[in-house]
Amino acid sequence: MFNRTLLLILLVMSSTASFSQVKEIVERDVRHIKYLPYGQFGSGQWQKEERINARYRKENPAYHEILALDTLAIPYLIDMISDSTEANVRVPCAAHNLKLGDVAFALLNDIIVIPWHTVTGESWNSYSCDALPDGGWGYLYYERVKFKDQLKMFFASTQGRVWMAIFKDKNLDKETKARMAKRFKSLTNNSSLEVASTTGE
């Protein structure tokens, strides 16, 4: 249900590659990735690492191929978040070796920044180490199945549709984006995740 609803929403903003091909590409490429471009804020080599990581996102074939799929990859990356297969990847701000599900989430977060508070209903106020909130890698490690379900609910909700439009609809002007950002904040503050209609907002 989630995949069908989300893919219908994303179809108008995405390429015409078949969904089965996208799934195969995502699953194959996530398994080939052995480095994540997630450095540590404020480290002595931070600026140098950021330049290296920006280049990596463009030049690593597997990582770049998934980023190029953009929104088409989102449902398949979310499905992989529960995969606890060892990935043999480390990042400075995670206490554990990463799993394939963590690699999938890192790619998802590179495609569209995840609003952790809205998705999980918990407070994530500090981002002192990297692009995930403090404790984020641990949440992924210990609550990956729950987090996957929370992400599915978010992207199938009205809030998820608004968030997607803010970041991914290239036809929106600044004024419209600002108005939608206010709507997203209002939806988040006033209700739990609302099931989105597939016929309109």
Rounded to the nearest angstrom, the gap between the alpha carbon of residue 22 and the centroid of all alpha carbons in its chain is 16
Residues contacting residue 81 through CB under 8 Å, at least 6 positions apart: 101, 104, 105, 108, 140, 144, 147, 148, 151
Distance CA 44, CA 67 (A): 28
SS3 169: coil
Q: Residue type at 93?
A: C
Residues contacting residue 68 through CB under 8 Å, at least 6 positions apart: none
Q: What is the pLDDT of residues 134-190, one digit of tens each?
A: 999 999 999 999 999 999 999 999 999 999 999 999 899 999 999 999 999 888 887
| 3-state SS string for 109-156 | HHHCCCCHHHHHCCCCCCCCCCCCCCCHHHHHHHCHHHHHHHHHHHHC
Q: Which H helix or E strand runs over 88?
A: strand 86-89
Integer angstrom CA distances of residue 35 from 121, 166, 172: 30, 29, 34
* pLDDT of 198 strictly over 70: no
In this prediction the pTM is 0.84
Question: pLDDT at position 134, please?
Answer: 94
Indicate the domain borders of the chain.
Answer: 2-190
Q: What is the pLDDT of residues 52-80, one digit of tens each?
A: 999 999 999 999 999 999 999 999 999 99
